[in-house]
Amino acid sequence: MKNSTKLSDAIHILTYIVINQGTDLSSTQIAKSVNSNPVVIRRIMAQLKNEGCLISSNGRANPQLARPADTISLLDIYRAVEEETDFLKIDTKTNPNCNIGRHIQTTLDKYYQQVQESAEKEMNKIKLSDIIKEIQSIQQ
């Protein structure tokens, strides 16, 4: 993981597409809402498409969810847009000639995985539909 806002932006994009169906859904228009650049939006959308979250077609500003919003979890979106999904990063450059430098990595790896699993389990519970509903209810 990292200091990236790609997950937030990806959720933003998907939510935008669902809520604003029928209006202009070009990357330029979405970029205005995210306050970013059309290319950045298309980049994220390409990743979402790759992972089966989004349908879009070349030349047409007509993106759609690839499947129902209650079957798309935060974890799905996270995995789609982040190439490195680990929240905690192990230092892999430690000195292998040292007892601790040599063994710290496998030990930490085990515990870091526990933390990762716990976070991912929680992310899997949260669905895109939850977020969409919440934003729609605020808007009314």
Instruction: Report the 10 Å Cβ neighbour count for 20.
Output: 13
Q: Is 140 in the site for its own copies (CB under 8 A)?
A: no
| Residue 115 contact partner, candidates DNA, its own copies, none, CB within 5 to 8 A by sort of partner | its own copies
Q: Identify which of 84, 118, 70 has the alpha carbon closest to the alpha carbon of residue 7.
A: 84
Cα–Cα distance, 56 to 64 (Å, whole number): 6
First-to-final CA distance of the chain? 35
Task: Provide the CA 111 distance to its chain's centre, in angstroms.
Answer: 24
Shortest separation between residue 58's beta carbon and its own copies, angstroms: 25
Q: Is 139 in the site for its own copies (CB under 8 A)?
A: yes
Residues that bind its own copies (CB under 8 A): 1-5, 7-9, 11-12, 15-16, 19-20, 32-36, 74, 84, 87-91, 93-95, 98-101, 103-104, 107-108, 110-111, 114-115, 118-119, 121-123, 126, 130-131, 134-135, 138-139
